[in-house]
Chains A and B, each alone.
Chain A
Amino acid sequence: MSKMLGVAASSPGGSTRRPDSGGNSRKLLLGAYFDFIRIRFLTMLAYRVNYYSGILIYTLNIGVNYFTWKAIYGDGQALGGFTAAQMTTYVAVSWMARAFYFNNLDREISTDIRDGSIAIQFIRPYNYVLVKMMQGLGEGLFRFMLFMIPGMAIAMLLFPVNLPTEPSAWIGFLVMLFFSFLINSQINVITGLLAFFVENNEGMMRMKRVVVDLFSGLIVPISLFPGWMSSVLEVLPFQAITYLPGSVFTGRVQGVGIWNVLGIQVLWFLLLLIPIVWLYHAARKRLFVQGG
């Protein structure tokens, strides 16, 4: 009886069936994308012990930078528009922002491409890049809650960090932090997708890491670079990751300037979509699945 039901339920002339594209089915796919966030979050949570050492390392980084800057400032008042107090806050906020927005999407994507498991991704009715971004978001959520917030608390206990008190600054900062995550992830996706075009993009990934840390103003705020250099960096996307949100949060940029900063972030977010879409489509034509 069950066999007969099976036949009746699915037409043998199956290839004439077209997937329905109704609202309900779109909602299901959306649900799947949310699941990728949730699953990555839960997986990270299962391995949370690995990240406890990370909190220590980030605190250490903040400490090293704090004492270095303290020595550089000496009795001086301001450097590149930063007072010593602002610099301390900037260093702490930048490193903690990095604790949130950092991810290894570039490595994940290039591994998928190089070991051939990208094939599995292409037999599924979803957008691979979007899935990767969702997984990155799941990781970001974990890093935000179990990495950035406790790390920030420790940093505030150890170093004289002055955080703003107005709620609007906090809301603005969180929005900008989210865009930092998006832009950094987009750069990672681009670096990862390059594995389609070069046999080994290990070097590129390492270079990207150094470039992002240096040019985003994490190590040295952009206003401290030589004039010509900072004017070059101002037209690159990296400053939108750390320097701009950090400047807002330390109170160096205020009023209308805040909207300008947000505008620059949104602009880079949109601009970076172009190479991603282009790479993804070009890659489909060049794809060479490794291992047969």
Chain B
Amino acid sequence: MAAIQVQDLRKTFKVQKNREGLKGAFADLFKREYTEVTAVKDISFTIPEGEICGYIGENGAGKSTTIKMLTGILVPTSGVLSVGGYVPYEEREKFVRNIGVVFGQRSQLWWDIGVIESFQLLRKVYRVSEADYKKRLDELVERLALQELLNRPVRKLSLGQRMRCELVAALLHNPSILFLDEPTIGLDIVVKSEIRDFLKDMNREHGTTILLTTHDLQDIEALCSRVIMLDDGRIIYDGGLEELKQRWGTGREVLFQFGSATKLGQLNHWTDGMPVTWSAENDLNAKAWIPLDLNVSDVLGRVVGQADITDIKIIETNTDDIVRSIYQSGSAEKPEEARAEQDGKEVVHV
């Protein structure tokens, strides 16, 4: 059964237009003008139980609006929505007892009271029995090493400490679906990887379905088997991270360090007949660019036997670069293919 099912989901906001100048302000007083802004444009996707799915896109692409509809905060303008067997906006109070939500930029703990008091209050709000609560809290506190923080007031926690507490707060009632809206924003690298490990364990041990939005692609690489990419309210990519890399990563780079001077001409000569592009900063360092359909070991085989090599480094196009170029083009279609369709020509891969 699918944990989250979304069909033609749309959200339109009415935004007040402020006309310019004194005359405009006066006119606004009597007759307001509104512009309609469509934040989410008829998107559809299905997330099966137990999946960790990354939801990415530029600022203002509609990620948060989607999450807010999925969590029952916003009522969609149109479309069909089912999360954990509920229609979120219809039975909000029943529905939210089955989900956990963490907003990286907003705290859901009470500012003035101690962490443990916040947890106690949430226990009652979510109607968790004392026994279940104790077991769950012990497990989470131990896993996230929170023992020393429990009696501190929330306002005295650092961001990293607070974020770990937020996770506990969202998970105390053992939700089957967890929504994370930029959970690692502003955190240092140690806390980030702690949180990633924790989420992975949660998913493995409890089968928790996780949907997370993030701008940190390392979150996605560490956690997600699937990525949904949004641009201007539309889904432009939905699939595995590996496929995305394969589709967009055009090649690999191999860095060579030589023990003795090796000329560029020499290198070109060794890989004669291969579509390899060489560049060199000096005689001791050279870079080879190898297209995807060529085997790296074939190239290495030609070079290794002949040159005096002290170091080799293979660099794959990283996800950041891929995503950046997708954002810039606004489409997940590979540029060559798109062009090919337009021109009606076959692209010959060399």
Check: A2 CB closer than 8 A to any chain B CB: yes
Query: Smallest Cβ distance from A272 to chain B, in angstroms?
Result: 23
Residues 111-124 of chain B, each 1 if its beta carbon lies under 8 Å from chain A, else 0:
01100010011011
A29 and B3 CA atoms in complex are apart in Å by 27
Q: Are B121 and A32 in contact (CB under 8 A)?
A: yes
| A3-B205, A15-B1, A39-B110 as given contacts; A126 in contact with B125, CB under 8 Å | yes
Check: A25 CB closer than 8 A to any chain B CB: yes
Residues 56-80 of chain B, each 1 if its beta carbon lies under 8 Å from chain A, else 0:
0001100011001001111100000
| Interface residues on chain B, number (Cβ under 8 Å) | 56
Q: Are B207 and A14 in contact (CB under 8 A)?
A: yes
A10 and B129 CA atoms in complex are apart in Å by 14
Check: B321 CB closer than 8 A to any chain A CB: no
Chain A residues contacting B65 (CB-CB under 8 Å) are: 292
Query: Smallest Cβ distance from B47 to chain A, in angstroms?
Result: 11
Check: B139 CB closer than 8 A to any chain A CB: yes
- Most A CB contacts (10 A, CB to CB) among B68, B125, B128, B207 go to B125
Total A-B residue pairs with C-beta atoms closer than 8 Å?
Answer: 131
Query: Smallest Cβ distance from A132 to chain B, in angstroms?
Result: 14
Which of B87-95, B224-232, B249-257, B278-286 is near enough to bind chain A? B87-95
Q: Are A15 and B98 in contact (CB under 8 A)?
A: yes
Check: B319 CB closer than 8 A to any chain A CB: no
Query: Smallest Cβ distance from A10 to chain B, in angstroms?
Result: 5
Check: A287 CB closer than 8 A to any chain B CB: yes
Residues 1-33 of chain B, each 1 if its beta carbon lies under 8 Å from chain A, else 0:
101000000000100100000000000000000
Chain B minimum-CB-distance residue to A117: B106
Check: A63 CB closer than 8 A to any chain B CB: no
Q: Are A19 and B98 in contact (CB under 8 A)?
A: yes
Check: A251 CB closer than 8 A to any chain B CB: no
Chain A residues contacting B214 (CB-CB under 8 Å) are: none
Query: Smallest Cβ distance from A135 to chain B, in angstroms?
Result: 11
Check: B103 CB closer than 8 A to any chain A CB: yes
Chain A residues contacting B124 (CB-CB under 8 Å) are: 28-29, 31-32, 35
Chain B residues contacting A18 (CB-CB under 8 Å) are: 94
Query: Smallest Cβ distance from A65 to chain B, in angstroms?
Result: 35
Q: Are A39 and B121 in contact (CB under 8 A)?
A: yes
Chain B residues contacting A31 (CB-CB under 8 Å) are: 124
Residues 179-206 of chain A, each 1 if its beta carbon lies under 8 Å from chain B, else 0:
0000000000000000000010000000
* Option from A25, A32, A119, A285 in Cβ contact (under 8 Å) with B103: A119
Chain B residues contacting A123 (CB-CB under 8 Å) are: 71-73, 96, 99, 101, 108
Interface residues of A in 1-60 (CB under 8 A from B): 2-3, 6-7, 9-19, 24-26, 28-29, 31-32, 35-36, 39, 42-43, 46
Query: Smallest Cβ distance from A193 to chain B, in angstroms?
Result: 16
Chain B residues contacting A124 (CB-CB under 8 Å) are: 96, 108, 125-126
Q: Are A6 and B139 in contact (CB under 8 A)?
A: yes
Chain A residues contacting B117 (CB-CB under 8 Å) are: 39
A9 and B138 CA atoms in complex are apart in Å by 15
Q: Are B49 and A24 in contact (CB under 8 A)?
A: no
Chain B residues contacting A36 (CB-CB under 8 Å) are: 121
Query: Smallest Cβ distance from A230 to chain B, in angstroms?
Result: 33
Q: Are B75 and A287 in contact (CB under 8 A)?
A: yes
Check: B174 CB closer than 8 A to any chain A CB: yes
Q: Are B16 and A12 in contact (CB under 8 A)?
A: no
Query: Smallest Cβ distance from B7 to chain A, in angstroms?
Result: 17
| A35-B124, A289-B73 as given contacts; A12 in contact with B113, CB under 8 Å | no
Chain A residues contacting B64 (CB-CB under 8 Å) are: 289, 292
Check: A153 CB closer than 8 A to any chain B CB: no
Q: Are B49 and A285 in contact (CB under 8 A)?
A: no
A52 and B185 CA atoms in complex are apart in Å by 41
Report 5 cross-chain contacts, Cβ distance below 8 Å, ordered by A residue. Answer: A6-B206, A26-B127, A32-B121, A39-B117, A42-B113
Q: When A and B form their complex, which 3 residue pairs have the shortest distance between CB atoms, in order from nearest?
A: A14-B176, A12-B207, A32-B124
Which B residues are closer than 8 A to A by beta carbons?
1, 3, 13, 16, 49-50, 59-60, 64-65, 68, 71-75, 84-85, 89, 92-94, 96-99, 101, 103, 105-108, 110, 112-113, 117, 120-121, 123-129, 135, 139, 174-177, 205-209
Known: A39-B117, A289-B74. 8 other contacts (CB 8 A): A10-B207, A15-B98, A16-B85, A18-B94, A19-B98, A124-B108, A125-B126, A287-B73
